[in-house]
Amino acid sequence: MRQYGQASTDYGEAVMAALVFRAGQLLCALRLDEVIETLRPLDTQPLAGTPAFVRGISVLRGVPTPVIDVARLLGGGQIEAERYVAVRTERGAVALATGQILGIRDVDTNVAGGHPALLGARSSHLVAGVGTIGAEPLLLLQSMRAVPDEVWEAAAAAVVS
């Protein structure tokens, strides 16, 4: 996955295994080493005082876990979740509500940074790069460590209640 018009700077391009999925109309990928598991959507309770991209909280493997709508987080509007993808973060697991899971693919790691025009200030901390699969753009997502503190605080308060 190299940007159109960008010359390769390396004869042996590095690739990594990534989980590829839909988030509304967007095609996204996460490093496989950040993924814990994929599962069917679970009952999710709303959390007051959280951003619009937070669907709420679900219990995954006995642990209350925030649920993030990836399409809404990336500006694509809310979707009907087909799958949850549990991912590792610095503060614990987060469930990502996604569309269809397309599988595990090798993704070019030379897309780091992506094209500056495609990555506004808000998205640059979420998107590590922009590449393609076939003729379709692919957003390589960074770790979901960008979950705001108020989400973790609301989740903790919901557990205590």
- Domains of the chain, residue spans: 15-160
User: Which tokens belong to 138?
Assistant: 């692919």
Q: Give the closest residue to 66 by CA, choosing from 50, 90, 83.
A: 50
pLDDT in tens, 98-124: 999 999 998 876 654 555 555 454 445
CA 59 – CA 45 distance, rounded (Å): 10
Strand partners, 129: 112, 140
The whole-model pTM stands at 0.79
Strand ranges inside 9-62, DSSP E: 15-23, 26-31, 35-39, 54-60
User: Which tokens belong to 152?
Assistant: 């973790």
Q: Does residue 92 carry a pLDDT above 90?
A: no
CATH architecture assignment, domain 15-160 = Beta Barrel (2.40)
Residue 116 backbone phi and psi in degrees, to 5: -55, -35
Positive/negative CA dihedral, 92, 39, 126, 128? positive
User: Averaged over 134-156, what is the pLDDT?
Assistant: 75
Q: Are 108 and 56 in contact (CB under 8 A)?
A: no
Q: Which of 8-12, 41-45, 46-50 has the highest mean pLDDT?
A: 41-45
User: Which tokens belong to 28?
Assistant: 């996204």
Question: Is 26 or 1 the better-scoring residue by pLDDT?
Answer: 26
For the chain, what is the mean pLDDT?
Answer: 79
Question: Is 65 or 11 the better-scoring residue by pLDDT?
Answer: 65
Predicted pLDDT at 121:
47
Question: Is 25 or 144 the better-scoring residue by pLDDT?
Answer: 25
* C-alpha separations of 73 from 5, 40, 98 in Å: 29, 20, 11
pLDDT bracket for residue 38 (50, 70, 90): very high
